[in-house]
Each structure stands twice: as C-alpha cells, then as structure tokens.
Amino acid sequence: MFKTTRQYRKTIHRIETILVAVLLLPAMAATQLSSSDWKSAWPNTDFSKRIIDLSSLEAGGPPRDGIPPIDHPRFVSVEEASQWMADREPVIFLELNGDVHAYPLQIMVWHEIVNDTVGGVPVSVTFCPLCYSAIAFDRRVNGKVYDFGTSGLLRHSDLVMYDRQTESLWQQLSGEAIVGQMVGHTLEMIPAALIGFGRFKSEHANGKVLSKETGYRRTYGRNPYAGYDDIRKTPFLYRGPLPKKVKPMEHLVTVMINGEPVAYPFSSLKKRPVVNDKVGGLPIVVFYEKTMRTALGREKIKGGKAVGAGAVFDRRVDGRELSFTKKRGAFMDLETGSVWNMFGVATSGPLKGKRLKRIVSGDFFAFAWMAFRPHTRIYTDR
C-alpha cells in the first residue's frame, strides 16, 4: 500500500491531523447543553445534587473520554526518555515517599489525565491545556479509591473530570465535586510542579518518566494547540470577566494558603526570581528560573519559547525562618549562605542536605486562576 516509509509517515500525520480536528479543535467552538440533554448524556449522574448552574457547563467537542485518560501508565528510565525528550521540555514533577515520577506535557496534552500510584498513594495527575493547569490529586475519598476520566465538558474553559464510580463531575482547577453524588467532597491536591526535563534529569537520574507506549497512536512531541500560548491573545471558551491587573494569558505561579490566594506573574518573577512572602500566615519563598519551554507555543513542543518555571516552599527549616536571594545564578539563604536548588534541597553550605517543604502551587494562565479566585492578591516587583 505504501511505496516508501516517507509516504507511510505522511499518511499517519494526515490521520492524526484529522483526529485533532475531530476530537480537540471542536472545543474551540463549544456549545451549551440544554437541560433536556443532561439525563440522556449522563444517565447515571445525580443532577439533583449540584453546586453550580448547569448553564455554566459547555460541551467541549470530544465526547466522554474522547480525550482518553491513561489508566495503566508505563514508565521508562530517564536515560531512555532522553532519546526523545529535549532538556527544556516541560514535565509534571511528582515525588511521594521517595518515588519520583515525571509526566511529559508532550503526552499529557493528548490525554489530560493519568490515573497512577506513586509511593503507594493512588493519584490522578491532570493537565488542562486551555488553562495550562497541571494539578495532582490524591484520588481517595473517605478511604475509597476513585479513578477519573475526561467528561468532554468545560467550565470557565477548564477541564471537567468525572469519576467512574459515581459519574459525578469534578472541577479540575479546584478539585471540587460540582455535580452528582460526590458533591460536598474536594480532592486533596498534592504538591507537584512543572519543570524542565533537563532539570529533572540532573537531580533525579533514577526517576521514572511516563512512557510514550500508552496504547494509543498519537504524535507525541507535536502540539495540537499550536499558537495558543500567546500573551497577546484572549482565552478560548471563556465568557467570564477578564483580570484587570494582569493579561489574561499571562503565566502565574499561584498559591492558596489558609484561604488566602496569591499570584506571582512570570513577568515580575523574571525581574525578581526570588520572592520571600507570607501567605495565610505561612512564610513562603518562590523560586523562578528560565529553564523550561511552553508546551503550547509552536507545533513542535521542543521548539516552544522559554517561559520559565516556578516552585514554592515553606521557608522554615528546623523552626528557623530563612530569607532567600539569588546570586550568580544560585538560590541562597541569607542566614547561612547555603545554596539551594529548584527542588528545595540545600546542595552546599552549613544546611547541606536539608529540604524545604514544597507547597501546593500552580502555573496557570491568569484568566483561569482568576475565574475561580477573583480576589487574588497579585504580587508586583515594584
């Protein structure tokens, strides 16, 4: 049928392009479901229990699990992953009980959810491309393990997940059950971070990397949302108010501590890559470095523009509150002169070997975070 390997690859590329158009791109022209549609679309969901107006939900184009989650993830070594990943490609970093995993966004943009177990903890690792929201959850509720899929629905442009046990709907960005039997429950977020693969490789050479052997045929490494990550643009499928203090598509490092939401724009962090702050009464530090590319810029993810990466930590060590700065490209505490890395580990100095506690944080587009936390304090470098 194919005379050359090149013809075969071109045909596969055309098929995948059609697949993107059928499954993903219709999300750019989503439609609202009428109330009469809900029961037929979700016959096992209890719509009498909800905390949202159903009109805020939109059909994103793909059907339920049309963007297929990964339920039985396979992993490869860092060495093997290095053969197909560039150092500045973004990965979701997750470490639990000494078990270290990386989930490349070149895979996550095609699947959005991975149901996994890390360090003995059942987790769901999620990524919503339209919001650039990478969030890891403990998928246990009251001792029972749930697994999650993509509902095909969006709310405020954000992924709406569903659990397969009760078919309740869950908001990815907040972790709340918004419709169904599980209303009243919120999934526990687990500290995770977007970092460049090279940084992961240098610090966790024995870590595990999500394999491209997913059971699905996709062009991993190609971005189906090419051009979306552009600060000059406005978000798709978003009808709410736009933030006024930052541009809607600005990347933010975000935290929510003891009810206080705070956001640190990347534009400010580029000028001041270390921020010592206090949020919800907790002393924290934000580290930023420009070693990671966006997954949603150019068609090939490895060629995306550099946007940088942020990490947030509790800046107390052994009951002592530290203050940090960046000198000659290294993070350093002022009290002891110890040097720290992006993983919150002291690599030299009097505190060598000490670790800062990672805080749950996010790297989101501004419009997405502000849609759910409109009263967020915006940090400014001025």
Task: Please check the confidence at residue 13 and state whether its pLDDT lies above 60.
Answer: no
What pLDDT, on the 0 to 100 scale, is given for residue 23?
43
What pLDDT, on the 0 to 100 scale, is given for residue 382?
67
**Residue 13 forms part of a structural domain:** no
Task: Please check the confidence at residue 30 and state whether its pLDDT lies above 60.
Answer: no
pLDDT digits (tens, 9 = 90+) for 161-200: 999 999 999 999 999 999 999 999 999 999 999 999 999 9
Question: At 93, which helix (H) or strand (E)?
Answer: strand 90-96
**Residue 74 forms part of a structural domain:** no
Residue that is written with structure tokens 């439609």 in the block: 31
When the pLDDT of each residue in the chain is averaged and rounded to a whole number, the result is 91
Task: Please check the confidence at residue 18 and state whether its pLDDT lies above 80.
Answer: no
What pLDDT, on the 0 to 100 scale, is given for residue 233?
86
What pLDDT, on the 0 to 100 scale, is given for residue 325?
98
Segment 32-38 shows an average pLDDT of 59
Segment 273-287 shows an average pLDDT of 98
Task: Please check the confidence at residue 106 and state whether its pLDDT lies above 60.
Answer: yes
What pLDDT, on the 0 to 100 scale, is given for residue 4?
52
What pLDDT, on the 0 to 100 scale, is given for residue 60?
77
**Residue 358 forms part of a structural domain:** yes
pLDDT digits (tens, 9 = 90+) for 211-229: 999 999 999 999 999 999 9
Give percent of the chain above pLDDT 70: 90
Check which CATH number belongs to the domain holding 339 and give it: 2.102.10
**Residue 172 forms part of a structural domain:** no
- Residues 334, 337, 341, 345, CA torsion sign: negative
Q: In the numeric block, which tokens belong to residue 187?
A: 């999934």
What pLDDT, on the 0 to 100 scale, is given for residue 239?
86
Cα–Cα dist 20/218, whole Å: 10
**Residue 103 forms part of a structural domain:** no
What pLDDT, on the 0 to 100 scale, is given for residue 368?
96
Sheet holding 31-32, edge to edge: 31-32, 57-59, 148-155, 158-163, 169-171, 177-179
Task: Please check the confidence at residue 352 and state whether its pLDDT lies above 70.
Answer: yes
Confidence tier at 33 by pLDDT (50, 70, 90): low
**Residue 334 forms part of a structural domain:** yes
What 3-state class would DSSP assign to 163? strand
Hey, what amino acid is at 148?
F
What pLDDT, on the 0 to 100 scale, is given for residue 330?
94
pTM across the whole model: 0.91
Q: Which domain holds residue 285?
A: 251-378
**Residue 362 forms part of a structural domain:** yes
Buried (b) or exposed (e) across 274-284, using 16+ Cβ within 10 A?
bbbbebeebeb
**Residue 150 forms part of a structural domain:** no
Segment 128-136 shows an average pLDDT of 97
Total number of domains in the chain: 1
